[in-house]
Every structure is written in structure tokens, then in C-alpha cells.
Homo-oligomer: A and B are copies of this chain.
Amino acid sequence: MRTAYHHQLAELTVELSQMCGLANGAMRRATEALLEADLDATEEVIREHDRMVVMRARAEREAFALLALQQPVAGELRAVFSAIQLIADIERMGALAVHVAKIARREHPNQVLPEKVRACFADMAKVAIALGDSATQVLISHDPQQAARLREQDDAMDELYRQLFSVLLDDDWTDNIPVAVDAALLGRFYERFADHAVEVGRRVVFMVSGDLPAQDEISTY
């Protein structure tokens, strides 16, 4: 009985990490869709999200069953408790990748972004995907140091997000309004993706230690 229980808990942990890997792969492909106007990539991201929805429902059922049938305590209860919270964050990461892909699809075969913000988006994507990788790993390793570092990794995203808005709101911006609106929303999607990855780190710290690190302050955007 206890063996089956530990097996189920280990399986839930692996599934969470797989979901996070799926969301991160989706953001990687969505970024290709965005920066290279790659139509196959957009379609793949949108189609693959169905898998995420199925995995989410399954992980929720499993977490519920663990609570109902096994009544975990202490560290194991913290693991299930955190899983219940993180399932939503991770699915949201996947949904944000779909948002990016859908904007790319709408503009295909044209580029969504003008030249002067493309490097900024390439950097934001790099940081977002590195955060997604760290989150995927830390869900398995449960290494509290690595988990805490996600927050520091996110500083680079905050800086890039500020840079993007300083370009967008600069008087020298000569592109039209639809382009600026898309760039602002896309910037927000990458920034939110990173925030959810940071939340994974925060919850893993709680899972391991029982202490939940403070959240960051809410920014202007």
C-alpha cells in the first residue's frame, strides 16, 4: 500500500515536470513562430496545447486521489499541496505560448515585430526559456538553492521588459499602432511566462523547507 502511494507521488512529480517541459517547448516553438514567421511552429503549438489540458486534468485527479486515499502528511503533504497550486501555473505557461503563436499565425507570412525590437524579444525569449528549463529541472531535483535562483534569473526579464517599453513609448517609434499594441502584449506574455516559472521555484522551496519565500512587488505593467 505505502509502496503504491510513493509510486503515485513520484509519478505526480514527474508529470508536473513533464507538463513544465511541454509548456517550455511550446514557448520555444512559439518564439520560432514569432521571430521566423514559421507557420508549422504556430500550428504545432496551438495543436499541442490539447495535450497540456489533458495532462492538467489527469494531474489534478491524481493529486485529489492522493489526498483522498493516502492522506499524506508533512513533506509529502507539502508536495501534493504545491502540486495542486503549480498545475495551474504550468498550464498557464502553455497558454501564454499559445497566445504568442496565435499572434504569429494571424500575421503570417508577415513578421509581427519590427527590426528594432526583435533583438529584445530574442533576449526575452532566451530568459523565459532558461527559466522554464530551470523550473522543469527543479520540479524533479527539488534543490532549494536552484529553486531560489529562479527569482534572480527573472531580474533579467524585468530589465528587458522595461527596455521594451522604453523603445515602444519613445518618440522615435515610427511603426504603426497595431504593431506597438502587439509588441506590448507579446512582451507581457513573455514576462508573465517568466513569473509563473518563478512561482514554480517559490513553491519548490516551500515543498522542501516548509517556508514560502515572499512574492515580488507588483510592477506598473
Which residues of A pack against B, CB within 8 Å? 49, 53, 57, 60, 63-64, 67-68, 71, 73-74, 77-78, 81, 84-85, 88-89, 95, 98-99, 102-103, 106, 165, 168-169, 173, 177-178, 180-181, 184-185, 188, 212, 215, 218-221
With both beta carbons as reference points, the residue of chain B lying nearest to A72 in the complex is identified as B67
Q: Is there contact, CB below 8 Å, between A77 and B64?
A: yes
Give chain A's interface secondary structure class: helix
Interface contacts beyond A49-B218, A102-B218, A173-B177: sample of 19 additional A-B pairs, CB < 8 Å, sorted by A: A57-B212, A64-B77, A64-B81, A68-B73, A68-B74, A71-B71, A84-B84, A88-B88, A95-B218, A98-B218, A99-B218, A99-B220, A102-B219, A102-B220, A106-B220, A165-B181, A168-B178, A177-B177, A185-B185
**A106–chain B nearest beta-carbon distance, Å:** 6
A89–B84 CA distance with the chains assembled, in angstroms: 13
A95 cross-chain contacts in B, Cβ below 8 A: 218
With both beta carbons as reference points, the residue of chain B lying nearest to A105 in the complex is identified as B220
Q: Is there contact, CB below 8 Å, between B178 and A169?
A: yes
With both beta carbons as reference points, the residue of chain B lying nearest to A80 in the complex is identified as B67
**A7–chain B nearest beta-carbon distance, Å:** 21
**A119–chain B nearest beta-carbon distance, Å:** 20
